């Protein structure tokens, strides 16, 4: 196990990816409950940060509760919230056509954006994310809106996400279909883009170099975290495997098999 740095001293806060770190599908991963309990017991600042824009923070709170983790809604930050904050900042009240689910729809509505469903409604933005209720109609309207000049925004770039039965198509796969049909490359909001990490750090109130990004996916969690100046911790319970490590463009600061091992190492510091 290539432990790049021997001690976790100096870490004051944690940002935790969810899929592949805390759970896989509906199955809780080893050490997740204990690690969250320990963060709470020690008063350590932490936020859960997911690129998945399908669920609302409230739905995540319920999902985590089913697995034995009791966290408040304001501990959850999603690429949907980041997308809504971004659009509300640059174009308050703008008309937005969404290819996505509750997480995106609720976040955009809550930030005062106007949701439309047809290209003829003249949306100023098309926001695309993972949509498990995706239809040809949605793809067609979004494609026409982009081709007519709407700015194309992707909530997150993940082409797949882990499930018990293997990697399933993610937001990036939906975005790729729209990109192919429209010929337009979207602006991406979620990890690994730096804006979302800046939003999370602002919420935590900690400096990047004393905050760790804990994730399972190299190209989003680790590359994005490192670029944002965060310390990075890779856990091997999700997408990136130990065998991938020699081939990675950036090495994480620490690698652990799971959160049980991370908690044990953190306890020793
Ligand atoms: Mg993940």
Task: Enumerate the domain spans of the chain.
Answer: 13-51+191-268, 80-188
Instruction: Name the pTM for this structure.
Output: 0.89
Average pLDDT of the chain is 94
Q: Do domains 13-51+191-268 and 80-188 have the same CATH topology?
A: yes
Residue-wise pLDDT tens digits, 146-192: 999 999 999 999 898 877 788 899 999 999 999 999 999 999 999 99
How many whole angstroms from 171 Cα to the centroid of ligand 1?
A: 13
Tell me if residue 19 is catalytic.
Answer: yes
* CATH 3.40.50.150 is held by the domain 80-188: no
**Marked catalytic residue, from 17, 106, 131, 216:** 17
The three-point CA angle 169-174-176 to 5° equals: 105
Residue-wise pLDDT tens digits, 64-120: 999 999 999 999 999 999 999 999 999 999 999 999 999 999 999 999 999 999 999
The class that CATH gives domain 13-51+191-268 is: alpha beta
How many whole angstroms from 99 Cα to the centroid of ligand 1?
A: 21
How many whole angstroms from 235 Cα to the centroid of ligand 1?
A: 10
How many whole angstroms from 124 Cα to the centroid of ligand 1?
A: 31
Distances (CA, A) of 93 to 96, 98, 106, 124: 9, 14, 14, 10
pLDDT at 232 over 70: yes
Q: Read off the pLDDT band of 4 (50, 70, 90).
A: very low
pLDDT at 141 over 80: yes
Tell me if residue 17 is catalytic.
Answer: yes
How many whole angstroms from 114 Cα to the centroid of ligand 1?
A: 30
**Marked catalytic residue, from 19, 106, 131, 258:** 19
| pLDDT given at position 5 | 52
Q: What is the DSSP string of 194-249?
A: HHHHHHHHHHHT--GGGEEEEES-IIIIIHHHHHTT-EEEEETTSS--GGGGGG-S
State both tokens at 231: 């310390």
How many whole angstroms from 59 Cα to the centroid of ligand 1?
A: 17
The span from the CA of 219 to the CA of 246, in Å, is 14
């Amino acid at each position: 196990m290539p432990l790049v740095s021997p001690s976790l001293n100096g870490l004051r806060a944690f940002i935790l990816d969810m899929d592949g770190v805390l759970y896989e599908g509906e199955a809780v991963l080893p050490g997740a409950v204990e690690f969250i309990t320990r963060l709470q017991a020690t008063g350590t600042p932490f936020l859960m940060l997911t690129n998945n824009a399908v669920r609302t923070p409230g739905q995540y709170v319920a999902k985590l509760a089913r697995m034995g983790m009791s966290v408040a809604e304001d501990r959850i930050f999603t690429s949907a919230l980041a997308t809504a904050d971004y659009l509300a900042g640059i174009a308050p009240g703008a008309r937005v056509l969404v290819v996505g689910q509750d997480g995106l729809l609720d976040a955009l509505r809550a930030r005062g954006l106007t949701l439309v469903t047809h290209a003829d409604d003249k949306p100023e933005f098309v926001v695309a994310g993972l949509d498990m209720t995706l239809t040809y109609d949605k793809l067609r309207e979004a494609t026409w809106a982009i081709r007519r000049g709407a700015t194309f925004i992707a909530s997150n770039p993940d082409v797949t996400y882990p499930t018990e039965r293997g990697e399933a198509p993610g937001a990036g796969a939906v975005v790729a279909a729209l990109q192919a049909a429209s010929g337009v490359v979207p602006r991406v909001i979620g990890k690994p883009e730096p804006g979302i990490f800046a939003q999370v750090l602002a919420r935590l109130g900690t400096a990047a170099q004393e905050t760790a990004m804990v994730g399972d996916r190299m190209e989003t969690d680790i590359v994005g975290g490192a670029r944002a100046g965060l310390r990075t911790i890779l856990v091997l319970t999700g997408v990136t495997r130990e065998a991938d490590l020699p081939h990675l463009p950036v090495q994480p600061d620490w690698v652990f098999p799971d959160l049980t091992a991370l908690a044990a190492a953190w306890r020793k510091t």
